[in-house]
């Protein structure tokens, strides 16, 4: 098929990165598909989101969009490109395999229905929980930034990112980005006996309290693991969310299959699988 691949100007520039975009159109300018490529400030892997209209598939649209994104990622000096496809013989999975992308991470998506029995957990002696909405309070900002190292060794298979640098400015930028989307970032953190934040768990909710919330991240610093702090934080956060947002239907989470510890926690709290997906990747030649 003869088509036009047009790069677009995307205003999605954030402190963590920026986004490139393309639209594929026929010679009559009929839209056929789109591609969005996230270029991170930290890390060496670009993330691709590619969509082709079902009626236009298997005609080369996706291949040309993939090539445009691959070339751009290489020009930016990135080492790899990754994209996600629903597992179990989907069109996206078949496309990735046919274009030489290989699976680098398996993900399981789960949902907790906010009905029925509430999860509970005993407090962990010597520790206490704190909670906030939106931007982290100034009194906790520095220690919260230090606690983000808890995510550095999260089991992510071959898709594990390089350790990232966190500071208060970046924390504020993320909270602001969530607020700009009209959503609410809710954080529960656990404070160790020495007054430092030892771990955290985050949820993003619709500001109207309807629909479903999405888990962002949960982590405990290595020195504090083995005490069941993550399960305590999540159980307490779920209870608070149910009290504050009684019309919220459920909470969604996606967990790497390699992350057996978090999968066990979510299972114990009542999360149930909804579907599976896989990340596919390819190495890039640096120019």
Q: What's the pLDDT at 86?
A: 79
Record the tokens describing residue 259, joined without a space: 């992350």
- Which residues share a beta bridge with 201? 188, 218
Q: What's the pLDDT at 242?
A: 93
Q: What's the pLDDT at 1?
A: 64
CA atoms of 273 and 254, how far apart (whole Å): 9
Q: What's the pLDDT at 139?
A: 97
Phi and psi, residue 30, nearest 5°: -70, 125
Contact by Cβ (8 Å): 212, 245: no
Q: How far is CA 2 from CA 21, 25, 51, 58, in A?
A: 20, 9, 18, 13
Give Cβ neighbours of residue 287 (< 8 Å, ≥ 6 apart). Answer: 74, 75, 77
- Which residues share a beta bridge with 280? 83, 103
- Spans of the chain, pLDDT less than 70: 1-2, 11-16, 88-89, 157-163, 286-287
Q: Which of 287, 251, 284 has the alpha carbon at shortest distance from 270?
A: 251
Contact by Cβ (8 Å): 111, 117: no
- What's the predicted TM-score (pTM) here? 0.81
Domains of the chain (ranges, CATH numbers): 3-105+279-283 (3.40.630.30), 111-277 (3.40.630.30)
| Bridge-based pairing state of the strands 13-14 and 31-40 | unpaired
């Amino acid at each position: 098929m003869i088509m036009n691949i047009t790069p677009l100007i995307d205003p999605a520039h954030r402190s963590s990165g920026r986004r490139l975009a393309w639209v594929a159109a026929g010679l009559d300018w009929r839209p056929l598909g789109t591609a969005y490529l996230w270029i991170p400030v930290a890390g060496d892997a670009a993330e691709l989101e590619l969509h082709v209209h079902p009626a236009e598939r298997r005609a080369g649209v996706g291949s040309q969009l993939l090539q445009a994104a691959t070339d751009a990622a290489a020009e930016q000096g990135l080492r790899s490109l990754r994209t996600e496809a629903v597992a179990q013989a989907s069109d996206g999975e078949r496309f990735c395999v046919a274009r030489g992308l290989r699976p680098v991470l398996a993900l399981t998506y789960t949902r907790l229905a906010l009905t029925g029995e509430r999860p509970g957990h005993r407090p962990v002696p010597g520790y206490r929980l704190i909670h906030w909405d939106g931007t982290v309070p100034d009194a906790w900002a520095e220690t919260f930034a230090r606690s983000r190292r808890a995510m550095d060794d999260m089991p992510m298979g071959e898709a594990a990112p390089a350790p990232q640098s966190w500071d208060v400015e970046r924390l504020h930028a993320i909270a602001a980005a969530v607020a700009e989307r009209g959503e609410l970032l809710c954080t529960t953190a656990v404070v160790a006996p020495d007054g430092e934040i030892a771990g955290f768990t985050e949820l993003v909710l619709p500001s109207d309290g309807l629909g479903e919330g999405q888990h962002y991240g949960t982590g405990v610093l290595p020195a504090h693991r083995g005490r069941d702090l993550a399960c305590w934080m999540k159980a307490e956060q779920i209870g608070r969310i149910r009290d504050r947002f009684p019309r919220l239907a459920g909470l969604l989470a996606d967990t790497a299959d390699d992350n057996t510890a978090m999968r066990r926690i979510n299972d114990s709290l009542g999360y149930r699988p909804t579907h599976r997906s896989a990340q596919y990747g390819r190495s890039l030649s640096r120019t």
